Amino acid sequence: MSVAVLDEARAWAAAAAVPDPEIPVVTVEDLGILRRIRVESSTVVAELTPTYSGCPAVLAIEMAVEAALRGAGFEARVKRVMSPPWTTDWITPAGREKLRAYGIAPPAEASGSVRALFGETRVACPRCGSAATQKISEFGATACKAQYRCTACLEPFDYFKCI
């Protein structure tokens, strides 16, 4: 294996471990926003796609990825990639399970669904698994989440909306 390939793999591991500042149980890899790592001359370039262009955590994530790469011994820079736009389909199965274990219902439908955003969707409670849930508000703790309540266990929870 070439040095560049080994460096890319080591750089990927360093960047991939960066937690999301709003939901620290998932990483940038879990969310699918770490798109690519490449080596240009002596600099590692991490390509990231924000969950949406207005996400308030974008800069914090970019700075954390750059710091993680520098901490791993690399000269580093981050490139923001807006196309194709991020979709909840990019959340890994491990990321979905981490969200559920944390008490946030992961996206229930594919992003291509006509009713994915602002539509009615069946959301299972991340605590008890019941489908007997009600939407309380279209927006939860952040704009990318809606607030739900489970009518079986009576617990409120966030739902990570499909985008």
**Start-to-end C-alpha separation, the chain:** 38
Distance CA(10)–CA(18), nearest Å, equals 13
Q: Are residues 75 and 14 in the same domain?
A: yes
Q: Is position 97 within any domain?
A: no
Domain count for the chain, please give it. Answer: 2
Q: Are residues 114 and 73 in the same domain?
A: no
Domain that holds residue 120: 103-160
Q: Are residues 9 and 68 in the same domain?
A: yes
Q: Are residues 8 and 63 in the same domain?
A: yes
Specify the 3-state DSSP secondary structure of 75: strand
pLDDT on residue 142: 82
Which residues in the chain land under pLDDT 70? 1-6, 109-120
Q: Is position 53 within any domain?
A: yes
Q: Is position 73 within any domain?
A: yes
Q: Are residues 12 and 75 in the same domain?
A: yes
